[in-house]
Each structure stands twice: as structure tokens, then as C-alpha cells.
Structure 1
């Protein structure tokens, strides 16, 4: 059995292998110092107030991504939905890492102190401590949220379930907004994250259509 056959037989676990590699690369980029970082900022950022309550959808992102990927994986009769989703995730996250490497960037939007002390600000403080203000453009949080929403809403089981689609869209929008209201990202990060997804979706959608057509 050659390496192509091995990959073909085990292609469903490639995303599992990719995740720790991605985390290692991201953490390496986060630990870089002694290099100039481009500050990402636009006037729209100044119009957006800090709001600690947006930490709820921000944290729900982790569950949202994991739950949809697992659901698509166990939808065994329609694995093309799973493959399209994880391919888009890997393309986007890898491209973001490459951009962070070639174009080191940061944002300086975070508040120095919180006017209110509550459970939400405590969680945000933990997020700030564990996640640096570098490597922000494009926003992986936004890219993945949009990718997961589209994958869920167009999946075989939920493509006609409008209630579920609306719920997913609302959560996706709240997640994208949360990155700005928590001062984790600039509006420019959100815009480029969305733009990157649209580019990759347009490039990969013809292959998904062909895959679905050949399975009918």
C-alpha cells in the first residue's frame, strides 16, 4: 500500500492530525518577539464600545465549532459535507498562519482596566492573559464561525430546517460581533476574515457540487 492509498483510506482523520500541528504553529507565532508588528486599527473600532457580555458568544465559538464538525463527521452517508467543512477550515487557518508569519500584526484596543468587576470580566481577563494581542488579521475566530455556520446550514439534514439555520446565523453574527466588543479584534480583522472565507468558498464550491452529483 503506497502513501496515496494510506491517505485516501484515512482522509477522515487528517483534520485530527492537522489540529495539533496548527496549535503548535500558532503558539510559536504567539511567542515571537523582537520583531516589528503592524498595529491594526480603523476609525470604526473607536465607535464600538467594550461590552463584557459578549464573552458568552465568544466562548460559545469553541463549542459551536466542535459540535458541528463532530456532527458532520458522524453524518456518515453524507461525508462530503464534513470534508468540505474541514477542508475550508484547514485552508483558512493555514492561510491565516502564513499571513501572521509574513505580516506580523497586532491590535492595541484592549482596555487597561474594567469599569465593572463580575464573572464576565473575570473570564475576559483569563482570555487576555492566555491570548496575546498579536496575530489578529485576518480573524480566525470570524473565519471559522462563518465556515461552521455555512457548513451546518447547507448540510444534508439541516438545509431545509429554517429555524435551525436562523439560530445558527444569529450565533455566528454574535460571535463575529463579540470579537470587536471584547476588543479582541479590529473591524479590519473581521472584514478580512469574512473576505478570506468567501474566496475559499467560491474556489471549493464547484468541487462540492461535483462530489454531490457523482454520489446521486
Structure 2
């Protein structure tokens, strides 16, 4: 117990992580409230993107990416963790509020799986947990952008293998959202735009001021 207390005292920034259960509570509330009568976000361009169940593996592994980066930053880079969580809090909350005000969803999921394998089994379970509503902007995209921004701004992760590895993996996750028919193209584009605006605010506007105040070069 003393070890835990000491760790918390030495890493007070970890409390920013409490935003995640708050977000999950908001997400599951709107998931249960918004089930129909929504704005369908799919467009004609989505018809050209084939369905591929195997992309469910990078899609579902998204959470592991975010958690791994968060844990590293808690231990190694307190200021980096704060900015990481600020980015997530701003973008995830924005997405949730927008979905509550403008109910949205997509009608791209296959009605029946053409065949059955481990990927389709995992996909069907993912569909059951994560409905086809509340998709604009894509939170998967927002999380990926937060992860990439954090890695590129973390001194301990300067090696190209880390930075480009996470960037390429995040790109794979982003693409997977469309191949497993969890998101339409405009959901992804909205996520990229929202994430870019949050990046400028957290890392450029606020970040530079904090760097100057904290003496970070």
C-alpha cells in the first residue's frame, strides 16, 4: 500500500486518466439512447470500399495502443501524459456531445456474414458491443491521432522505429474502421479534422506556452 501511495504522490498527473471512465459512461449512455432515427453518414464512395473481416484485428487492438502509450507516459513523461489526456478529453468529449446533439449512424454493416472464421466471430462480437450509431466523428481516428501526437512529442520515444512504427500502426487502424464497416469515409475525415484542430490547440498554442513556462526545449 505504501508503494502505491508513493507512486501516486510522485506521479500526480496520473489522475488525468480518470477521464476515461467518465467518457465510457457517456458513450454507453448515448449508445443506449440513440438506436434509430439518425443521420446516416455513408455516401456513394463507401460502396467502393470492400468489406474485409480480417481488419477487425487492428481495429480491436486500438485500445491496447492507447493504453500502452498512456502507461508509458504516466511513468516516463508526466507533462506528455497531461497533453495526451487533454487531447483525448477534448476530442472524445466533442464527439460525444456532437452525437448527442446530432444523432448519427451508418448502414454499412453486412446483414449476414458470407462465411465464418475467427475474424467474423470477433467482428460479430464487436458489432454487438459497439453499435452502428454515434460514429461521426470517429473516436477510433481521434484516439489514433492523440497517440501519434504523443509519440512524436515524447523525448524518450525519439527513435524512428517508435515514431514511424506507431504512425504506421495508427494508419492501419484508421483504414480498418472502413474495411470492417464500422465507419463511413466522412466519419474518418471528420475525425482527422477534429484531431488536427485539437493538436494545434494542445501542442502548438497551449504547448508552446507551457514549454516556455516550464523551461522545456
List alignment gaps of at least 5 residues for structure 1.
1-8
Shift of 1:123: 0.1
Instruction: Indicate whether 1:91 and 2:95 are aligned.
Output: no
| Change in 2 beyond 3 A, CA 1:174/1:16 | same
Question: Which residue number in structure 2 is paired with residue 22 of structure 1?
Answer: 23
CA root-mean-square deviation: 1.7
Q: Compute the displacement of 1:34 (Å).
A: 7.5
Match of 1:40 in 2: 41
- CA displacement 1:54-99 (0-9 Å, x = unmatched): 1111111010000001101101xx4221111100000001001110
Q: Secondary structure at the match of 1:157?
A: helix
Question: Could you give the per-residue CA deviations for residues 138-189 of structure 1, whole angstroms, max 9, x where no partner exists?
Answer: 0001111111012112211123x11221111110110000000000000000
8 A contact 1:139–1:185 mirrored in 2: yes
| Equivalent residue pairs, number | 205
Separation (CA, whole Å) in 1 of partners of 2:35 and 2:146: 34
Is the contact made by 1:52 and 1:120 (CA closer than 8 Å) also made in structure 2?
yes
Quote the offset at 1:116 in angstroms.
2.2
Conservation of the 8 A alpha-carbon contact between 2:35 and 2:133: no
Q: TM-score, normalised by structure 1?
A: 0.89
CA deviations 1:100-121 (Å, max 9, x no partner) are: 0110001000001112210000
1:162 to 160, 163, 177: 160
User: C-alpha separation between the residues in 2 aligned to 1:100 and 1:142?
Assistant: 15
CA distance in 1, matches of 2:33, 2:164: 40
* In structure 2, C-alpha distance between the alignment counterparts of 1:150 and 1:44, rounded to whole Å: 29
The answer to whether the 8 A contact 1:50-1:183 is kept is: yes
Please name the residue that 1:153 is paired with.
152
SS in structure 2 of the partner of residue 143 of structure 1: helix
Partner residue in 1 for 2:5: none
Deviation of residue 10 (structure 1)? Answer: 8.5
Among candidates 193, 197, 201, match of residue 199 of structure 2: 201
Q: CA deviation at 1:211?
A: 2.0
Alpha-carbon shift at residue 35 of structure 1 (Å): 6.2
Alignment of 1:1-216 (within 5 A): 12-33=13-34, 36-75=37-76, 78-159=77-158, 161-204=159-202, 205-213=204-212, 214-216=214-216
